[in-house]
Structure 1
Amino acid sequence: MGERAGAADMSRKELYTLFGALMLTMLLASLDQTIVGTALPTIVGDLDGMGDYTWVVTAYLIATTASTPLYGKLSDLYGRRPVILVAIVIFLVASALAGLSQNMLQLILFRGLQGLGGGGLISLAFTVVSDVVSPRERGKYQGFFGAVFGISSVAGPVLGGWLSEVDWRWIFYINLPLGLAAMIAVDQVLRRHHFPTRPRRIDYLGAACLVPAVVCLLLAVTWGGDDYAWGSGVIIGLFAAAAVLTAAFILVETRAEEPILPLRMFRQGTFALASVIALIFGVGMFSGIVYIPLFFQMVRGYSPTDSGLLMIPMMAGMVLTSVSSGFVISRVGRYKWFLVAGSIVITAGLALFTQLHVDTPLWTSSLFLLVLGVGMGMFMQPLVLAMQNIVRIEDLGAGTSTNNFARSLGGAIGTAVLGAVMTSKLNDELAANLPGAVAQLSPQEASGFGETDLSAVMQSPTVVAHLPEPVRLVVQQAFTDGLDLVFLVAACIAAVTIVLTLFMPNLVLRGSQPPMDDPDAKACEVRAETAP
């Protein structure tokens, strides 16, 4: 079994080179979650695939979420270097193939393959950091990694919109030189340092239960209320299959020699609680990323590219507090009250968005975005630190990937649930107020406004902007009321994290990893001081 590489084992140049490469791989994976959205109209127009356009995004999301736990365990067994290099290669090959796609089926399949690579890039980046830096020092480095998420949430839509005007295929080709540079740097640094490995007993049966369970769940929340009614046989069947497969997975994991998700980690209160918090946080984070741009586009009439630029205050807040809180945590050696403060600020930020109106000034919405970004930056990295600080060294990969998996799963579920809330409120408001608005139109205008137009309104900000004024005002107000309800529900869900973080123990971050023979990482909790 190899020795753990530490920061002391690396020169400063090697450490910074490694971190720069890891941040670049994370940026590529997180960008691909948002960059395609603004280019979709151009892509589906070129490939003639309007009926399947949502799958270009969904395929990546499902593949990324389902593969994340597998990468964590494989890296614990085989070491970080070979696994992260495989993830990068898969991502780059899929990017090249996606750019070469000649029809929508090819693009969707290659986006799914790209997601299989992307699932490892984010979680393994955090895992490698945990290998080379002690928990006490980890915060100031991981803060920069957290800032990558803030940058990608803004850069993705903007870059996607610009590249779609040049050639949409470069949305995928741009990954190739950047990813290749990152792969070379990671390989050169990690090959000179040894990481823990152990006998390779892969839990194939666990993987065969986990992956389809996640796929069934994500398909259910993606299709529910859109392609199929929530009470339809298809959706109920998918939920039932997900439940049965999850139960089978848990049973398999209790008996596996090398479980994909070691259940012993969840016997530690801190880890179990942090996993639940990560799941709930995913709901709040994705509600901000998904639904705030909807307000800018559908209500205020901005283009997708411009709406991405308007998200800059959120990015600035995330970058500022992610980096600064990381340095402070490394100095004080504790993380609990950053989680508590972050959850309070996130909840406040989401609650502020319930005050949006059709005529809300941009400076006001920018202030709301700044508050939300500050909370997210303060919250994300301490949660990762809390989970990494408590697990055994041989479970670092699985433990870190669990955090990413829970957050992604929460985001997918939250987006679906909040989407159902949005659609229901929007339909109610339009049904109540649209007839009165149509009655104010001239007979010629009124006859031209029917069911087909209403369907188009749901998809296109351009259509909303060119509606007759009485109808446009009703539609904009309906979207605003729907979004106000979405953010109210999201704020209530986020408020749960305030309560949960208060129950987190105020542990001291260790200066080094617990020994490999520490059976349940109890030494960590014994050594850690607690504060009221």
Structure 2
Amino acid sequence: MTGKSRKREVLRILWGLLLALFVSNLSVTIVGNALPQIMAALDGSETQYTWIVTAVLLASTAATPIAGKLGDLFNKKALLLAAIGLFSLGSLLSGMVPNASWLIASRVLQGIGMGAQMALVQTVIASIVTPRERGQYNGYLGATMAVATVSGPLLGGLIVSTPWLGWRWTFWLSVPFSLIAIVVLWRYLKIPKSARLKPHIDYWGSALITAGVSLLLIWISCGGKIFPWVSPLGIGMPVAALLVLAIFVWVELHDPEPVVPLRLLTQRTPLLAVLASIGIGTALNAPPVFFGQYFQIAQGYSPALSGIIMVPLMLAMFLSSTISGQLVSHIGRWKRFVVTGLVAMSGGLIMMIWVGSVTPLWYIWIAMVLIGFGQGSSMQNLVLAVQNGVPLRDVGASTAMVTFFRSLGGAIGVQVAGIIYTISTEAHMESKVLAAGMPVSMVPDTDSLDITKMEPALQAIVRSAYGDAMGDIFMGIAVLGVLSLIAALFLPGSSLRDTLDLLPENDT
């Protein structure tokens, strides 16, 4: 096969992969601007508000390492098609739910398919192109994720603002595009079967990591609301989560085919890439979720306009990811792009700490551009750095490992940010109500998201409180961003190899 025909074949496959990746990432953020209306329609609470997003991230986080490992053991094409099909089913059911509890459940199904897709798409790319070529393709992947992450709120806002569509189409929109991706990949994707003679599935490891992460996130979400922090459940759940995760580590160290190959974490590049990815995941997933509340409740913009306001973030991520991917492939080195990106992202996150109810849009846009530029330049190049140093047989597991910790950072980040936002908003409302000479009993319950039914004076107080609480979310996220930068600074730079596999592995 000539170089041109091979590239044409790869690009044809890439369209299907990018389409699947786009709709799966879109499913996280498309509900951002639609959530206030979804919660009003389903009579949901503030706790359920964050769980609509966290359910997807939690399920995705748990499914990612499992799917990545299965991709190393079995047919990647069949697994990817099954993942897209599962995601489509979850999307279809999410648009049919009668209440918020059922929506959370269907989002779990959606998340499992999403996590499997994210791991397998990158594994498939790594199976058909060399790391040196992969830089530009990873740039396309990063650009696709960037567009999906930030265009989600825009599309969600437009959909809920269109009377003949409604919020249910924020979930149904993914289905036709997923089906197109299935057809394209079914027809064009050809990967040699990678099953080993006696493939071994780490059932215990898969179950333990799912249980441990789930317990931890449920504790973060429900603590202080459903049960006190200092109570048998408040103390017992994190202890149980840590115990389960400790058992998981023991199992992984003794399993011949661990779902998360911890031996990779003894190497400097995978370990530091994982640490850096946690902060990136938080900065990637948490802000778009709460920007919807900020622009609609605090600033009074419509859902559609709220999405348009976030376009600079999308454009910065898209351009940064695409251009850095091309440059990485051309130069053959990746570290300078990761470090530069994380410097910019950290700067943007620090700027967001000072955002309040009267912050001008130009200031927020500058911060958004810095955050978007940083994420686009660093996110996929960290995955590439890890893939470059492992043999082909470990590409699926190593890719899934970085994606897993990025998703975990995002899932925990959304929950913690939601708690901070709620506590801070309540504190601001109380102080503003008292300052206005109103009794404390006038402080509204944050579980009530429909402020249009409030009196004008109280409405103004609530809008101001939501705006002034926004900056508090970014204090913790900015700290994680700086820690990601520090981890990246200690990464050993390396040249991208021109072979599909490590040479010693080819000789065995």
Rate the CA distance shift 1:168–1:454 in 2: closer, same or farther, 3 A.
closer
Q: Shift of the alpha carbon at 1:173?
A: 2.9
Measure how far apart 1:134 and its partner are: 0.9
Please tell me whether residue 498 in structure 1 is matched to residue 498 in structure 2: no
**TM-score for both structures, normalised by structure 2:** 0.90
Task: Say if 2:451 and 2:459, in contact at 8 Å, map to a contact too.
Answer: no
The answer to whether the 8 Å contact 2:72/2:397 transfers is yes
Counterpart for residue 355 of structure 1: 354
How far did residue 271 of structure 1 move? 0.5
Post-superposition shift, 1:31?
1.1
Counterpart residue type for residue 17 of structure 2: L
CA-based RMSD of the aligned residues comes to 2.9
Q: Output one character per residue of 1:305-363: Cα deviation in whole Å (capped at 9) or x when no partner.
A: 32222110000100011000111111111111111111110111011123334333222
Matching residue's letter, 1:15 = V
Rounded to whole Å, the distance in 2 between the matches of 1:311 and 1:201 is 45
> Cα–Cα, structure 1 residues 48 and 480, in superposed 2: closer, same or farther, change >3 Å?
closer
Deviation at 1:421, TM superposition (A): 3.4
Q: Which residue among 11, 16, 23 is the counterpart of 2:11?
A: 16
Is 1:435 the counterpart of 2:434? The answer is yes
Contact 1:154–1:309, Cα closer than 8 Å, also in 2? no
Structure 1 equivalent of residue 343 of structure 2: 344
Q: Any idea what SS the aligned residue of 1:511 has?
A: coil
- Could you tell me how far apart the structure 2 residues matched to 1:477 and 1:507 are? 49
Instruction: Judge which range, 49-58 or 416-425, deviates more.
Output: 49-58
Pair 227,250 (structure 1): closer, same or farther in 2 beyond 3 Å: same
Aligned to 2:125: 129
Instruction: Identify the structure with bigger relative contact order (alpha carbons < 8 Å, sequence gap 6+).
Output: 2
Cα deviation for residue 296 of structure 1 reads 1.9
Q: Deviation string for 1:95-132 (max 9, x for gaps)?
A: 33333445555443332212211111112111111111
Gap change, CA 1:416 and 1:146, over 3 Å in 2: same
Superposition deviation, residue 47 in structure 1: 5.4
Q: CA deviation at 1:45?
A: 5.6
One-letter amino acid of the structure 1 residue matched with residue 194 of structure 2: P
1:9 to partner: Cα distance = 10
- Given the alignment of the two structures, is residue 34 of structure 1 paired with residue 38 of structure 2, yes or no? no
Q: What is aligned with 1:157?
A: 153
Mapped partners of 1:359, 1:41: distance in 2: 21
* Partner in structure 1 of residue 323 of structure 2: 324
Report if the CA contact (8 A) 1:393-1:516 is conserved: no
Q: Which amino acid aligns with 1:495?
A: V
Q: CA deviation at 1:237?
A: 2.2
Give deviations 1:364-400, integer Å, cap 9, x for gaps. Answer: 2222211211111111111111111112211111111
Distance in 1 of aligned mates of 2:95 and 2:462? 37
Percent identity among equivalent residues?
35
More displaced 10-residue stretch of structure 1: 326-335 or 351-360: 351-360
- The answer on whether the counterparts of 1:456 and 1:463 sit within 8 Å (CA) in structure 2 is no
Provide the C-alpha distance between the structure 2 equivalents of 1:256 and 1:184, rounded to a whole number of angstroms.
37
CA distance in 2, matches of 1:12, 1:230: 56
Q: How does 1:468-507 map to 2 (within 5 A)?
A: 468=457, 475-507=462-494
CA deviation string 1:149-177 (max 9, x = no partner): 22223332232333343244333333232
Contact between 1:29 and 1:118, CA under 8 Å: does it hold in 2? Answer: yes
- Give secondary structure in 2 for the equivalent of 1:286: helix
CA distance in 2, matches of 1:257, 1:30: 32
Secondary structure, in 3 states, of the residue corresponding to 1:455? coil
* Structure 2 CA distance for aligned equivalents of residues 433 and 44 of structure 1: 25
Structure 1 position 63, deviation (Å): 1.4
Displacement of 1:187 in angstroms is 1.8
Deviates most, 339-348 or 94-103: 94-103
Partner of 1:387: 386
Unpaired runs of 5+ in structure 1?
1-5, 440-445, 524-532
Shift of 1:242: 1.4
Residue in structure 1 matched with residue 236 of structure 2 by the alignment: 237
Q: Which runs of 5+ in 2 are unaligned?
A: none
**Other structure's SS at 1:355 match:** coil
Q: Within 2, Cα distance between the matches of 1:353 and 1:186? A: 41
Aligned to 1:95: 91
Alignment of 1:164-313 (within 5 A): 164=160, 165=163, 166-191=165-190, 193-194=191-192, 196-198=194-196, 199-313=198-312
Q: Relative to structure 2, which stretch is displaced further, 315-324 or 302-311? A: 302-311
After superposition, the Cα gap between the structure-2 partners of 1:129 and 1:7, relative to the gap in structure 1 and judged at 3 Å, is: farther
- The 8 Å contact of residues 394 and 516 in structure 1, kept in 2 or not, is answered as no
Distance 1:420 1:105 in 2: 19
Query: Larger deviation: 488-497 or 70-79?
Result: 488-497
Is 2:55 the partner of 1:59?
yes
* Rounded Cα–Cα distance in structure 2 between residues aligned with 1:310 and 1:107: 27
- Structure 1 97/496 Cα, relative in aligned 2: closer, same or farther at 3 Å? closer
Check whether the contact 2:34–2:303 (CA below 8 A) recurs between aligned residues: no
Matched, 1:467 2:470: no
Q: 1:125 to 1:70 in 2, by over 3 A?
A: same
The secondary structure found in structure 2 opposite 1:386 is helix
- Relative to the length of structure 1, the TM-score reads 0.86
Letter in 2 for 1:203: D
Which one has a bigger Cα radius of gyration?
A: 1
Q: What is the distance in 2 between the residues matched to 1:111 and 1:513?
A: 36
Q: How far apart are the structure 2 equivalents of 1:507 and 1:61?
A: 32
